[in-house]
Structures are given as C-alpha cells and as structure tokens.
Structure 1
C-alpha cells in the first residue's frame, strides 16, 4: 500500500529557486525515492513538461501510476563550457558533489530507502560521477546513497562502449542543441570528452564489480537505456545515435521523439511514457519482492544463529489473544485510568502496571494488544512486539525476541542490514551488545511508531532482569533524544527493585486501584 498523498502544496514551477531537490509528490511511508535529473541547459520541471502543458508529468501522471514512490526532481546550473572542464567550478564533479549533499540532507529521516534515478542526456554523467564519489566508505550518508541505489534509467545519455570518437561526437551534438558553439569550444569539447568518457567507464566498472561481489548484502544496480528515435531537424540526425546510447551488456528501449522531446509526455498513453513506466514498475516491484525475501531470510538466519546460544528460546511466547467482550467489564480499573488514557494519546510514553499475582495484569496487557490490532486491522501504522516472560528467559533471549519480532515487521534499512550481516558473519557467536544495537536501530529507523509490551518482568532472574532493564533504559534515552516515537508498557508484581529501576515510568498500582474501588462501594 502506498499511503495517501502529502497535503503540502506543490506549485507547477518553483519560481523562487530552480536549483537543488524539489519534492514534486510525497506519500506517507513511501517505499522508494524516484529522482529525476535533467541535462545541459535543462530545468528541473520544464525538462519534464510537454509543450502546451503547465505542469510536469512527474506531477500529473506519475503519482497515480507509482503510488508508493516519493517523486523528486533535481536542478543544477549546467553551463556548457564549464561542465566539460577537467577541474574548477561548475564541472560535472562539482555538480555531482552538490547532488550528493542535497539528496543526503533530504533523506536524513529515510536512510536506507531504495532510490531509482531517471536521467536525461549529460545528466547521466553527473549521476555516474556522483555514485562513484559515494564509494567513500568513511562517509555514512554517501555510502547510504550508493547502497540504496537500485536502478538508473538513462534517456539519451552517451555511452558508446570503448569508441571514444562516437562518444565525443555525441557530446558535441548535445552541446550544439544547447548552444551555438564556435570552433574553439568544439576543440575543447573534443579534447575533454576523454575525461567524460573516463567517468562513464569508471561507473560501469563499479556497477559490474558490485554485480560480481555480493558481499555486505549490496544489491546490483540495474541499468536501462532509452534511445531517441527521431532526428533533430538542424542536425539532420539523432543527437545520441543508438550505438552510443546503448549500454554494453544491458537491455534498452526506444522513445518515439527527438533528444529534447524524449522527456516530455502529454498523456499516460504516450508510448515513451508507457515504456519508461513499465521499467520503473518492474524495478519497484522487484525491490519490494526482494526486500520481503531478504527480510525473511535474515530473520530465519538470525534465529538459527541465536538458537546456537539459546536452544530453549521460544519465539511463540507472545501475549495471549483474547476476545474483548469476555474481559472488558473486569478491566474498568485499567481502561478508565488516567494513566492508560495518557499512554494511548502520547507519541512517546512509558507505563508500568504492578500489583499482586493473579489480579489481572496479563489480561490487561492482552487487552491492549487486541485493541492495537483492531485499530489497524488491514495496514501497518505501527510496529508492535510483545513478550510473555518466564523464569527461564535470559536477557539475551528477551532482546532477541523483541528484535526478531520487529525485524519481521520492519522495512529493513541499510544500517540494520549491515548489522545483521555482521552478526551472521561473526565466528564468535551472537553478542548481547550486538543485539541491543540491532534493537535500537530497528526502533530508530522505522517510519512507524514502535510499541513494546513486556508482561511479567518480575519472573526473570533478578540479575538478568536488572541488566535488561538497565540496558533497556539506556536505549530508551537514546531513542527519546532523537524524538523517535516509542511507547512501552510493562507489567510486574510489586517489587521494590523493579519500582526503583522504572521510577521514570508512569504507574498504575493495581492494589491502590482495588482499595479505591472498595472504598467507593463502602460509601
């Protein structure tokens, strides 16, 4: 499910500023970012707008056909003379660096979300250079952009294999339609085309290396070329000929338009639009399927790894399911309490229920779980994990159960994926600290609210319980510091050490509630 479109106003042209990223259409809980990048002398919206239209098809057509995608278009000042220089301002490398920084800032809260790029003309070289810069392992934001990239669709971008002359000719043709170059500029372009060709070659080498080396769970980057079918009148030829536009070893499609108009679609029935859309849908569909498959594989492998240390761990010991009609009358002390009401309304809240054995705490916890399920029966609006504690549980088992439940429900982010791979590859077994870090990352990187229900914390061994609560409090503080929504509900028999450990929680005292009810009945 894609979620509903954002209510933020989006104007057809961003008049005040035409540079940098521009979110054309946003959806809640998007599955993928689709980023559009224009070529020489292009415009981040007009490049994608058909003649006679007032809005780009990125806004009028694409959101209906890609409901799970956040659609972004990017603008940069592509000066003809400077773009093809080896070094200095406004070169391809400078534009690539700015693109990386701007996209990283835009994706601060969506790290790990897959990205697909759609690029036109020499904009293809900008994205190729950008992704090569992102191979820097010391910059997490850059690494995320690279590892999150799933595909690049090239519209009229020159490749030309190893034929430098064909590549240089394509570059010069592109410049001719953008500017009337003199002989001196043409000479500079021909000499500097070798520099541009090196960008293209380095990118293709990186893509092939990633395809061959599947370590660290990096997925291949899909590539697809779109070739212009029609010539430009004054050139009497196509700007980028098919032999130059094709990517060696990859498939391609054609678009029935010339180089300038191959990015402009009026209706959803335009053949070029349908061909590009089909490619994007295939990539997005494969991404969702791959994500589900890898997620399931990771959960199973992690459980097996944990099982080597905790052979008695039972992942099925969640809170029991109940029928609300059977117990609502006996839970007035809980349902009508101001503390529970505040816990339900808050984005981040922590609540402890304590009392004597057999006085309905587990029933209350099961009631909460059932209510949460009923609120959103057909769609995930939150990530929920629950534990029914026993005296046999260790801290390792507790953290493992919470992490594996969230992992099963969570959209795996790049940071989480890397942590899991490190745990699975470790020759020294599963470390408790690794699992705590994994749990924290799962909570921090989800786009949804996290709710954790822990019933009967008093049943744990005192040493295991104390360590669990201490570490749980630590990650709670770190999560709260990042304003990540998380609610926690814990039940326990009344114990002094537990009350002390959870002194920062709101409290429902079952004994106090019972005494209050008795007094009301008496009077």
Structure 2
C-alpha cells in the first residue's frame, strides 16, 4: 500500500508540490537523511525551504526479500502510486515535481505512462500536471547487482528485484514509452549519477543511469548509491542543482513544443473534423452536454455544420481525444483541451492557410 506524507508546508505555498520517492529497500524518511537520528538532516525539508514549496514523501512496498514483506511488480506499483498521488486532496490541481531514488525513478516512469498505455483516463490530468522529473541513481537499463540477488533463491526476492535485472525486457519498453510522454507533455528532467562504489560494487553504472532524454546530460555526483540522496549540507552539489532545477521548471507545458510536425500530422490523421471542432469548443472547460449542445454552438469555425450528438457519443469522443492526449478530464463530467490539443489546433490552422 502506498503512503503519502507532507513533510514541509511553507507559509505561502509555492509554485510546485515536490514528492520524494525512495528506492528498493528504502524508507520514506530514512532514505533522505544522512543522520537517521537527526531530523535536521532530512533533505526534503531543505529543498522545500529553499524553493518555498510543500514537500512530500511517498512510501510503497519495496522490500528486497519476501521474508520481510511482499511487494508488487513495477507496472502494478506504478498504478498504485499514481492513484495515491491522484487521490490526495491537498495535491488536487497542483503542478508536481517528482524526485525518485533508484527504483523510485522507475516507479515514477511507470506511473507517468499508465494513463496512455493502460488507458487509465481518470489519471490523465495528474500525468499532465507533472512538470519536473528527477532521477537519482536510477537504473534505467537495470543493475547487475539485481541479477546477482535474483539468483539467491534463499533470499525469496520480491518481484521488484527481478524488475531491476539488467536483462529485463520491460525496461526498454518503459524507456520508450516514457520518452514518448516526455515529448508530448513537455515536462523537465534532471538526472544525477553515482560515481563511487557501494561496498566495492558500482550498483548503477553510468550507462544505465542515463535515461537518454534529449537535451539532458546526467550529472555525476561524488557519492555512492546510498549516500547520493543524503547530502550532508546545503552546499553539496546535488542540493544546489536540484533547487536550481525546480526554480527553472515552468508551470505550464509549452504548447508549441509539445510535439513536432510529424507527430501532429499523425495525430491529425487520427482525428475527424468533428474532433477538431470538439477541441476548439473545449478550449474552455465544459461539460460534455454543454460542448455539444445546439444552443452553445450553431456553426463551428471554418463553416463546419454543428450537429448535436447523444451524451453517449459525446463521452466516447471525449474518451478518444483524452486517450490521444488531446483533451484532459476535469473531474468526472468536464473536459478541457490539453496543451497537445492546442498544438494540434495551431497545426490545423496553419495547414488550412497554406
């Protein structure tokens, strides 16, 4: 079961809510403390204070061995974490920055792709509110140490250990889907890489720690896999760089850069003229009935004739556009054109004029 705790609230709430997600065998609080007996060393609090943002820690089943506790496989864990974030009242409508250490970074990726890959449209709005993703020593291509642990049958390892195996076929698919979400949603990414071995073993090698996000170069940190997320003071590079990254994140996705012309052309081929009308009218948040009523729009832009649809047809059309990322749900009965939908409209306008 995923848990979520707010660990810092500024007097005046800042632009983002920041959520820290621990890794395999980690703990919601101890993962981020260089001295587990001293609360003053709790890193998320420092980040919240320096960015004037509320900070949260998310916990989930991440035990290495089933002798300690059971844990869900990575895709299932992604859905669980997604739901916990989406159902938190204090995070409703808030732009998010997600910070993941080790396996926590993979959990973030699995959560972000769920609305598109699993057609979980109730979470599309949350995925669209992610404005920053931070990977700290995340094994995007797996870890050799996970392979070794998996061979120890006496350890009765949980499924997540297998998810981290270097030969896990799910990881390349997760990479591909995450890069697609990055391209469409336009969020920011920052990557930190360990450079020192842990007990003589390099847990996540530099090649595996690179998510291969266009324009993002991993930042090497003089720390091992366990200490990289436990800075001893605010002068350490990872703290300064993370705070700078959060300050530079934009709240809204830039519609013009959400997708290139090739992607927009493919999307336009999958949408009808009536879909485009829906997107134009849906630029203002509205209920399905309002968007599709005869009274609201007698004649759509560019001379298309507006014909009223049943609520069932309207909901089906809305779900199709949400699935394509062109609209986002606002509650249970309302929809609104997304940043990608705005980009498609601009592309359609330019095509009509040419």
Secondary structure in structure 2 of the residue aligned to 1:135: helix
Contact 1:50–1:56 (CA under 8 A) maintained in structure 2: yes
Contact 1:116–1:151 (CA under 8 A) maintained in structure 2: yes
| Structure 1 match to 2:224 | 258
| Distance 1:205-1:70 versus aligned 2 partners, 3 A rule | same
| Structure 1 match to 2:48 | 63
User: Scaled by the length of structure 2, what TM-score is found?
Assistant: 0.62
Give the structure with higher Rg (CA).
1
| Structure 2 match to 1:224 | 190
- 148, 170, 182: which one pairs with 2:152? 182
Q: State how 1:24-43 maps to structure 2 within 5 Å.
A: 24-27=7-10, 28-43=12-27
1:287 aligns with 2:275: no
Measure how far apart 1:251 and its partner are: 1.2
Measure how far apart 1:43 and its partner are: 1.0
Give the number of the structure whose residues are more often helix, by fraction: 1
Contact 1:256–1:272 (CA under 8 A) maintained in structure 2: no
- 151, 171, 178: which one pairs with 1:207? 178
RMSD of equivalent CA atoms:
4.3
- 146, 163, 173: which one pairs with 1:171? 146
Secondary structure in structure 1 of the residue aligned to 2:219: strand
User: Scaled by the length of structure 1, what TM-score is found?
Assistant: 0.44
Measure how far apart 1:259 and its partner are: 0.7
Higher RCO, Cα 8 Å, sep 6+: 2
1:144 aligns with 2:125: yes
Secondary structure in structure 2 of the residue aligned to 1:34: strand
Distance 1:159 1:129 in 2: 11
| Structure 2 match to 1:153 | 134
Secondary structure in structure 2 of the residue aligned to 1:44: coil
| Structure 2 match to 1:53 | 38
Secondary structure in structure 2 of the residue aligned to 1:258: coil
Deviations 1:19-38 (A, max 9, x none): 50001123455422211100
Measure how far apart 1:101 and its partner are: 1.6
Contact 2:144–2:166 (CA under 8 A) maintained in structure 1: no
Runs of 4+ in 1 over 6 A off after TM superposition: 186-191
- 258, 261, 276: which one pairs with 2:242? 276
Contact 1:128–1:200 (CA under 8 A) maintained in structure 2: no
Distance 2:90 2:119 in 1: 17
| Structure 2 match to 1:501 | none
Q: State how 1:41-440 maps to structure 2 within 5 Å.
A: 41-51=25-35, 53-67=38-52, 69-81=53-65, 90-107=72-89, 110-111=92-93, 113-135=94-116, 139-160=120-141, 167-172=142-147, 182=152, 193=164, 197-212=168-183, 218-233=184-199, 236-249=200-213, 250-282=216-248, 284=249, 286-287=250-251, 415=330, 417-418=336-337, 421=341, 425=345
Contact 2:20–2:57 (CA under 8 A) maintained in structure 1: yes
Contact 1:53–1:266 (CA under 8 A) maintained in structure 2: no
Number of matched residues? 272
Deviations 1:384-414 (A, max 9, x none): xxxxxxxxxxx99xxxxxxxxxxxxxxxx97
Distance 1:182 1:49 in 2: 30
Q: Which runs of 5+ in 2 are unaligned?
A: 259-276, 278-295, 298-327, 347-354
Q: Which runs of 5+ in 1 are unaligned?
A: 1-17, 161-166, 213-217, 295-304, 306-394, 397-412, 427-523
Deviations 1:251-284 (A, max 9, x none): 11122211111111232112221122222222x3
Deviations 1:403-454 (A, max 9, x none): xxxxxxxxxx9747527958x959xxxxxxxxxxxxxxxxxxxxxxxxxxxx
